[in-house]
Structure 1
């Protein structure tokens, strides 16, 4: 059988002669404007050389992104789809630099919801095609965290908006920083403190924390004196969780239980992961797990690496293989796993004094996750 495409290594600046003839100079300038090497850039070229696409993808994920196409666009996209199916991927995305709505629709791509905020130099459109015949995930809004430390707060806000719980204010910097202030262990949000903040903010939400260690977490990079007072705050968060009826499950959350919670029980799970596999640096980071497809969990990552050519298109509706997510959610030191599961509303929510964190003195019916 004649191959329908060829994969060509991407070497910015050292463009093949056929590509120089095919691609406008401004397109090649855009392609070479950033160092895309962390995300395995490659060119997929049609067998007759009439069309080509520049592809990238985060490591340890189950998608590929069309950065741009040149030449015969339908042929180039067909070649990419063939490549993606043969790689066993869950999804192909397409950044809207030069793609037309007509071309994307004809190729079976659906438009992505535009992010709530968008910075300069980011695409004004994005598209997705799920490769499984039963694919398709309910799409939450996308919001990029505005600081280096508010990922936990942002994932909670997105989860609650997606679930229809609503927020006092629209998702934005004020809501982001306000919730972070309620949840922070200075500056990170540890699992129990984040779970408590979610319950206080949304009293009808069913919240369960998964944390398979009794030790303080996310403190190893600090000096002993800095660790000490943050450990006191983490202990206080556990006391608050007990008073508010937020269970803290000390058993390790399994990948099977995570998938079941999202897929069957309609939970939104805030999951603590290391960015070592996806970005190359071992930093703890909160992501939102909100959908499942065969072999992968779909997440929202509130941060993306513009220096490596990432945009909101990468971080939104991002499928991560089960094994990859399982590995990256074991956090060092100690290889613990931390998560906050947010389920359907309580049938009879506890009355909570937000200022003091105390239950009202009345009987309540608590429904566990």
Structure 2
């Protein structure tokens, strides 16, 4: 974790709209004078519109002294510097000032062009490189940096990207156990990911009870509790007929397995206060696997598991094992991701015929 550095109260900057899809020739002259062509080419290579891209520019003599391209997932409490150009320290100071004025708790920085020395001088700490994943899709820069503007941050876990579109539940459980010291980081790979998914899946999704049962079977010494505010089968709204029914049979079997293994299934939601209390518990290594909709953060309403592992003032810090490269995201967007309490609570209400909230609480011991 890193201690926030003070920022001058009057850092001059201007926020300039970003023109999605514009080539380098369409950028303002002030920007093209200080940014290398290859940087501008990367900025315009994807449609960053879903992440509210903007330029934070620092005025100078006769133009801009510095600028940074800034993005962030909707519904979150951070800002990301994609690149800073010109006077890099001045650009970093401006973005931090902007983030503080917006009430954001964190600024992260893709390591495309910034040196470790320049990042450290601006008060940013290096992030751990992500663990090797089971997908060939590029994860972004090998390095990234973080600076907390509220609180002292949280202990940094390992980051691993899921290798399929449906194994998020298994990956969050494995990441929780890595952080608890139950699983070695180097053993988190595609084999372990898909093996746990196979034990937990309701084909192809992992529903809360089945996931909790799979975790308890894999690690009998870990305490597991499931919170699910319905007794009906879940995550089946896209199916009907026999395709729905046989999955419902498996969910009923998972409930019987939970009873036999002593895994409590609470027929209610895990409240925001309880979630925060669980991951803040001193001297304990407790984690919450939370089922959320990606409608706010990504624009499509599909269920997805994230790992809640820490808190800062006003926000819960999560690991998201998936990120959208098509919108310019990298692993830096999904790692140590702060989400305001109210926003996370809203994300955890899944739509469909049955509105549900689901979570799995793991105490690694």
* TM-score when normalising by structure 1: 0.91
Q: 2:13: which partner in 1?
A: 5
Question: 1:241-256 residue pairs with structure 2 within 5 A?
Answer: 241-256=258-273
Distance in structure 2 (CA, Å) of the matches to 1:212 and 1:99: 46
**1:12-65: CA deviation from partner (whole Å, max 9, x where unpaired):** 322001111111111111111111111000000013220000000000000000
Question: 1:75-154 residue pairs with structure 2 within 5 A?
Answer: 75-117=90-132, 119-120=137-138, 122-132=140-150, 134-154=151-171
Is the Cα contact below 8 Å between 1:252 and 1:337 reproduced in 2?
A: yes
Q: Do residues 26 (structure 1) and 38 (structure 2) align?
A: yes
Is the Cα contact below 8 Å between 2:177 and 2:364 reproduced in 1?
A: no
Change (3 A) 1:254 1:121: closer
Distance in structure 2 (CA, Å) of the matches to 1:121 and 1:338: 29
Is the Cα contact below 8 Å between 1:169 and 1:175 reproduced in 2?
A: no
Distance in structure 1 (CA, Å) of the matches to 2:157 and 2:185: 18
Which of 223, 244, 253 lines up with 1:227 in the alignment? 244
Distance in structure 2 (CA, Å) of the matches to 1:266 and 1:3: 40
Question: 1:322-361 residue pairs with structure 2 within 5 A?
Answer: 322-333=341-352, 334-345=354-365
Gaps of 5+ in 1: 346-369
SS at match of 1:92: strand
How many Å apart are 1:344 and its aligned residue?
A: 4.0
How many Å apart are 1:208 and its aligned residue?
A: 0.2
Distance in structure 1 (CA, Å) of the matches to 2:14 and 2:191: 48
Pairs aligned (count)? 344
Is the Cα contact below 8 Å between 1:157 and 1:167 reproduced in 2?
A: no
How many Å apart are 1:251 and its aligned residue?
A: 1.8
Q: 2:3: which partner in 1?
A: none
Distance in structure 2 (CA, Å) of the matches to 1:169 and 1:124: 17
Distance in structure 1 (CA, Å) of the matches to 2:268 and 2:320: 25
Q: 2:66: which partner in 1?
A: 51
Gaps of 5+ in 2: 1-8
Q: 2:201: which partner in 1?
A: 184
Is the Cα contact below 8 Å between 1:111 and 1:125 reproduced in 2?
A: yes
Is the Cα contact below 8 Å between 1:155 and 1:286 reproduced in 2?
A: yes
Q: 1:360: which partner in 2?
A: none
* TM-score when normalising by structure 2: 0.92
Distance in structure 2 (CA, Å) of the matches to 1:331 and 1:126: 32
RMSD (Å), alpha carbons: 1.5
Q: Structure 1: which 4+ aligned runs deviate by more than 6 Å?
A: none
Change (3 A) 1:86 1:130: same
Is the Cα contact below 8 Å between 1:54 and 1:67 reproduced in 2?
A: yes
Change (3 A) 1:297 1:186: same
Greater alpha carbon shift after TM alignment, 168-177 vs 56-65: 168-177
